[in-house]
């Protein structure tokens, strides 16, 4: 069997992210300099500070991109645009603080704002092609099998098939029963868990993914004995509904790995960042909005009882009804209610006439809570703004 490359692949991923950050930073600064050169009256010395600040800001922000998840999807472009807007805002704010922004040509700055996402998008495609060629072709691709094909395992397998840059091919799964047709998957069923040890010994398997539910299975214990005398990498996958509880996540505390359920993402610095964004946006929208209907909500945001982005508030009687019908319903109350949310921008607006509609809304709310980031909030705000123009019923 081939030598596992879990640690080396992680190092490659970090190196790739760093190289991408450097490439993006240089592209941002280079695009500005090109536009300055093309402008008849703009001078390089005037844009020197803006260029330096944009390069360092771009390096800090874009070196955190997870390239192993890139697949040319819309989310990739939106992530690039959001991060670029953050860099652009940093440059503008720095110009105001240094009182040099008035010297910057508006035509150059507007051209830079529009041209840079295009340049970065093209650069992302080139980097992805190079990365796939370097890390995931030929004998660099690894074969993986699953023991216990639960929801989290099926999701991982689908993403492996879609994100080819991961360099991992799921060749099959072992489970007491074949996955039902409603969970149709291109990954083949290889038989009962008892057949896993023999299969791994006879085939060139590089990675085994184990569901925690089968960790004490006698057949799995035999497989572990086989794997300890091999170079196969082993990963344990906690089901997203382990012990019947939804929203299980992997985290660590002071270096100790653990599984966590129902933790709020707004602690420490994240809480301060979220609050600051709520205050700034509320003040801006209060000044610019003309609708009186939503003014009380923005005042609630300023007071701290609501947020700009979060699960939409429900009536008390709805809470008492649905908490008994939908597992995990009350987890949405781990964060402040919002004026708009991930569920609303995905079409789940207005009344929820059925339990199924409410269940879908709760699923989106829990995804927002477990995947919150500053960029995620900005993405929801931008999508909400687009919906306001397109749909008069959006709220």
Domain assignment present for 108: yes
The pLDDT value recorded for residue 2 is 36
Is the domain of 12 the same as that of 106?
yes
Q: Which regions of 242-382 does DSSP assign to beta strands (E)?
A: 249-253, 256-260, 307-309, 338-340
pTM higher than the cut 0.85: no
CA dihedral 380, 384, 386, 388 (to 10 degrees): 180
Is the domain of 122 the same as that of 65?
yes
The pLDDT value recorded for residue 88 is 92
Residues 113, 110: Cα–Cα separation, whole Å: 5
- The three-point CA angle 286-339-343 to 5° equals 150
Is the domain of 74 the same as that of 119?
yes
Domain assignment present for 254: no
**Listed residue (319, 286, 279) closest to 301, CA to CA:** 279
End residue of a domain, out of 112, 135, 158: 135
Q: Which two tokens stand for residue 42?
A: 């703009």
For residue 390, give every residue at least 6 positions away whose Cβ sits within 8 Å of its Cβ, in sequence order, or none. none
| Relative orientation angle of helices 106-135 and 74-97, to the nearest 10 degrees | 140
Q: Are 62 and 37 in contact (CB under 8 A)?
A: no
Is the domain of 286 the same as that of 364?
yes
Largest Cα span, the chain: 77
Q: Are 46 and 99 in contact (CB under 8 A)?
A: no
- The three-point CA angle 220-226-231 to 5° equals 115
Is the domain of 235 the same as that of 292?
no
Residues 251, 253: Cα–Cα separation, whole Å: 7
For residue 120, give every residue at least 6 positions away whose Cβ sits within 8 Å of its Cβ, in sequence order, or none. 24, 27, 28, 80, 84
For residue 71, give every residue at least 6 positions away whose Cβ sits within 8 Å of its Cβ, in sequence order, or none. 162, 163, 164, 165
Q: DSSP characters for 5-52?
A: -HHHHHHHHHHHHHHHHHHHHHHHHHHHHHHHHHSSS--TTTTHHHHH
DSSP class of residue 243? G
End residue of a domain, out of 135, 166, 196: 135
Instruction: Compute φ and ψ for 348, nearest 5 degrees.
Output: -95, 65
Q: Which two tokens stand for residue 147?
A: 């023991």
pLDDT tens per residue, the chain (395 residues)? 333 344 444 556 667 778 888 999 999 999 999 999 999 888 888 899 899 999 999 988 887 766 555 544 555 777 888 889 989 988 988 888 777 778 888 899 999 999 999 999 899 888 878 877 776 666 778 899 998 888 888 888 988 887 777 788 899 998 888 877 666 778 889 988 888 888 888 888 889 998 877 667 787 788 888 788 778 888 888 766 666 556 667 777 777 877 777 677 777 777 887 888 888 777 776 665 545 556 788 888 888 889 999 999 888 888 888 888 888 888 888 889 999 999 989 888 877 778 888 999 998 998 888 888 877 888 888 888 888 777 654 44
Residues 210, 348: Cα–Cα separation, whole Å: 35
Domain assignment present for 245: no
Domain assignment present for 288: yes
Q: Are 237 and 152 in contact (CB under 8 A)?
A: yes
CATH, residue 211: 3.40.50.720
Cβ-based neighbour number of residue 45 at 10 Å: 8
| Relative orientation angle of helices 295-303 and 269-288, to the nearest 10 degrees | 150
Is the domain of 109 the same as that of 181?
no
Domain assignment present for 256: no
Is the domain of 195 the same as that of 75?
no
Is the domain of 12 the same as that of 131?
yes
Q: Are 63 and 17 in contact (CB under 8 A)?
A: yes
The pLDDT value recorded for residue 8 is 43
Is the domain of 294 the same as that of 360?
yes
Domain assignment present for 1: no
End residue of a domain, out of 135, 166, 189: 135
In the three-class reduction of DSSP (H, G, I as helix; E, B as strand; rest coil), residue 107 is classed as helix
Domain assignment present for 301: yes
Q: Are strands 207-211 and 189-191 parallel, antiparallel or unpaired?
A: unpaired
For residue 237, give every residue at least 6 positions away whose Cβ sits within 8 Å of its Cβ, in sequence order, or none. 146, 150, 152, 153, 156, 209, 210, 211, 212
For residue 251, give every residue at least 6 positions away whose Cβ sits within 8 Å of its Cβ, in sequence order, or none. 257, 258, 259, 260, 263
Find the domain containing 122 and state its range: 6-135
CA 206 from chain centre, in angstroms, equals: 27
Domain assignment present for 253: no
Is the domain of 57 the same as that of 35?
yes
Is the domain of 84 the same as that of 105?
yes
- The three-point CA angle 231-140-77 to 5° equals 125
Is the domain of 194 the same as that of 212?
yes
What's the total number of domains in the chain? 3
């Amino acid at each position: 069997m081939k030598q596992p490359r879990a640690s080396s692949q992680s190092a490659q991923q970090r190196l790739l992210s760093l190289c991408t950050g450097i490439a993006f930073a240089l592209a941002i600064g280079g695009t500005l300099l090109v536009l300055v050169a093309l402008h008849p009256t703009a001078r390089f010395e005037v844009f020197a500070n803006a260029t330096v600040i944009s390069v360092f800001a771009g390096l800090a922000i874009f070196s955190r991109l997870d390239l192993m998840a890139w697949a040319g999807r819309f989310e990739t472009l939106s992530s690039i645009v959001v991060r670029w807007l953050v860099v652009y805002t940093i440059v503008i704010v720095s110009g105001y603080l240094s009182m040099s922004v008035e010297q910057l040509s508006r035509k150059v700055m507007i051209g830079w704002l529009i041209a840079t996402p295009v340049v970065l998008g093209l650069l992302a495609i080139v980097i992805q092609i190079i990365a796939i060629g370097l890390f995931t072709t030929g004998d660099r691709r690894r074969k993986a099998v699953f023991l216990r094909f639960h929801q989290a395992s099926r999701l991982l397998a689908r993403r492996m098939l879609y994100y080819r840059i991961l360099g991992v091919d799921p060749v099959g799964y072992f489970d007491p029963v074949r996955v039902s047709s409603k969970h149709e998957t291109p990954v083949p069923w290889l038989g009962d868990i008892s057949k896993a040890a023999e299969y791994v010994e006879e085939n060139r398997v590089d990675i085994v993914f184990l569901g925690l539910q089968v960790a004490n299975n006698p057949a799995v214990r035999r497989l572990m004995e086989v794997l300890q005398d091999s170079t196969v990498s082993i990963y344990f996958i906690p089901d997203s509904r382990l012990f019947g509880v939804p929203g299980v996540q992997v985290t660590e505390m002071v270096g100790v790995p653990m599984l966590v359920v129902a933790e709020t993402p707004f602690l420490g610095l994240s809480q301060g960042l979220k609050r600051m964004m709520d205050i700034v946006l509320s003040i801006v929208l209060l000044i610019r909005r003309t609708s009186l209907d939503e003014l009380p909500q923005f005042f609630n945001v300023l007071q701290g009882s609501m947020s700009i982005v979060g699960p939409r508030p429900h009536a008390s009687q709805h809470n008492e009804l649905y908490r008994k019908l939908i597992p995990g319903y009350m987890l949405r109350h781990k964060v402040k209610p919002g004026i708009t949310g991930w569920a609303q921008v995905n079409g789940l607006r207005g009344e929820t006439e059925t339990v199924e509609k409410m269940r879908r809304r709760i699923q989106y709310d829990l995804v927002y809570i477990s995947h919150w980031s500053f960029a995620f909030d900005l993405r929801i705000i931008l999508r909400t703004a687009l919906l306001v123009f397109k749909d008069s019923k959006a709220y």
